[in-house]
Amino acid sequence: DIQMTQSPSSLSASVGDRVTITCQASQDISNYLNWYQQKPGKAPKLLIYDASNLETGVPSRFSGSGSGTDFTFTISSLQPEDIATYYCQQYDNLFTFGPGTKVDIK
Partner 1 sequence: QVQLQESGPGLVKPSQTLSLTCTVSGGSISSGSYYWSWIRQPAGKGLEWIGRIYTSGSTNYNPSLKSRVTISVDTSKNQFSLKLSSVTAADTAVYYCAGLLWGVGYGAFDIWGQGTMVTVSS
- Binding region for partner 1 (CB under 8 A): 1, 31-32, 34, 36, 42-46, 49-50, 55, 87, 89, 91, 94-100
Q: Which is nearer to partner 1, 14 or 56 (CB)?
A: 56
Please state the closest distance from residue 25 (CB atom) to partner 1, in A.
14
* H or E segment to which residue 34 belongs: strand 33-38
DSSP tally for the chain: helices H, then strands E: 0, 11
Q: Which is nearer to partner 1, 34 or 75 (CB)?
A: 34
Q: Which is nearer to partner 1, 20 or 97 (CB)?
A: 97
Please state the closest distance from residue 54 (CB atom) to partner 1, in A.
12
The C-alpha angle 60, 66, 72, rounded to 5 degrees, equals: 60
Please state the closest distance from residue 20 (CB atom) to partner 1, in A.
20
Q: Is the peptide bond before 8 cis (omega within 30 degrees of 0)?
A: yes
Q: How far apart are CA 18 and CA 11, in angstroms?
A: 12
Q: Which is nearer to partner 1, 17 or 53 (CB)?
A: 53
Please state the closest distance from residue 95 (CB atom) to partner 1, in A.
4
Inter-residue contact 3 to 25 (CB < 8 Å): yes
